[in-house]
């Protein structure tokens, strides 16, 4: 009888601990989704950097690269300050993103550098800027849903 009571108590305690863990994940889910302007700024930063190639000037591209790096650093810093966490996208999202970059950027760079069609990098920047903003949003929502789904 005593063993049975202890076993029930163990089961209740374990269930309570699992419930507490899930409650924490839900509390985390409430705070981790990035604000909409984070995705917009991310897209604009990437567009600005890639579009700088259209000027065909090393100085413009170098300045844009510095701004791009500083902007990314500031975005990450703001996100971490707002949420207190950092989570990097991995797996499928990164494969999709890498594939898209190759598909869009390689032809644009070939046209830009090989055939003096420098405007193509601005178009590639616009396409990839929109894509990164949408992917970032989608990934953020998927992460929140995963946290809510349970352990």
Partner 1 sequence: MTAVAPRFDAVIHPPPRLQVCGLLAAVDTMDFAAVRDTVGVSDSVLSKHVKQLEEAGYVRVHKATRASRLRTSLALTNEGRAAFDAHVADLRRITGG
Site residues (vs partner 1, CB under 8 A): 10-11, 14-15, 17-18, 20-21, 24-25, 27-28, 32, 77, 80, 83-88, 147, 151
CA dihedral 127, 133, 136, 142 (to 10 degrees): -100
Q: Cβ closer to partner 1: 21 or 106?
A: 21
Min dist. Cβ of residue 136 to partner 1 (A): 16
Q: Cβ closer to partner 1: 6 or 56?
A: 6
Min dist. Cβ of residue 28 to partner 1 (A): 6
Inter-helix orientation angle 119-149/36-51, to 10°? 150
Q: Cβ closer to partner 1: 24 or 56?
A: 24
Tokens of 28: 């985390």
Min dist. Cβ of residue 22 to partner 1 (A): 9
Q: Cβ closer to partner 1: 1 or 151?
A: 151
Min dist. Cβ of residue 126 to partner 1 (A): 30
134's CB contacts (< 8 A; 6+ apart) are 39
CB–CB of 96/39 below 8 Å? no
CB–CB of 117/78 below 8 Å? no
Which DSSP letter does residue 84 get? S
Q: Cβ closer to partner 1: 14 or 103?
A: 14
Q: If we measure between CA atoms, which residue out of 84, 110, 97, 106 comes closest to residue 136?
A: 97
Min dist. Cβ of residue 75 to partner 1 (A): 14
């Amino acid at each position: 009888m005593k063993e049975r009571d202890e076993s029930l108590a163990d089961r209740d305690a374990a269930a309570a601990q699992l419930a507490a863990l899930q409650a924490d994940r839900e509390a985390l889910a409430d705070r981790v989704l990035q604000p909409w302007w984070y995705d917009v700024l991310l897209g604009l930063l990437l567009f600005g950097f890639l579009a700088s190639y259209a000027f065909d000037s090393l100085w413009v591209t170098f300045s844009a690269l510095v701004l791009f790096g500083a902007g990314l650093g500031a975005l990450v810093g703001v996100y971490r300050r707002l949420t207190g966490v950092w989570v990097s996208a991995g797996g499928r999202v990164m494969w999709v993103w890498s594939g898209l970059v190759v598909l869009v950027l390689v032809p644009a760079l070939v046209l830009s550098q090989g055939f003096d069609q420098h405007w193509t990098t601005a178009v590639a920047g616009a396409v990839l800027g929109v894509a990164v903003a949408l992917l970032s949003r989608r990934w953020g929502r998927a992460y929140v849903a995963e946290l809510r789904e349970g352990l």
